[in-house]
Structure 1
């Protein structure tokens, strides 16, 4: 049948890949708010030690308390 060629289904590779990644590592959550402590009197971003990071995404909110004093821009979770 000329109407059912394998190349017609090639577009399904990208959505299947996104779905596989989503189901494996979770949905992306983006930074929403954070709390920090100053480590010196310079008052710039490099002197902040973050103690709480809150991320929002389709799975709701995720709040974490980092051990190294750093918050990422994005976190994957369920």
Structure 2
């Protein structure tokens, strides 16, 4: 009888350990996915920021060119 109880207890503990292991693995994969997603988001944000800077510099150049052309036209008129 004692052997049976011991065996039963051992089996229960093994089951419990296995469940905990699965749970831990699940959490880790979830964490990794979250981290990956965060990294991706950060990368996207950085790219967006760089594009924004490029666009603003383009706009600035266009604006300056426009001002320069206006000045040239004014000088031509006089």
TM-score between the two structures when normalised by the length of structure 1: 0.26
- Higher RCO (Cα < 8 Å, 6 or more apart): 1
Q: Is the helix fraction higher in 1 or 2?
A: 2
Larger radius of gyration: 2
Structure-2-length-normalised TM-score: 0.26
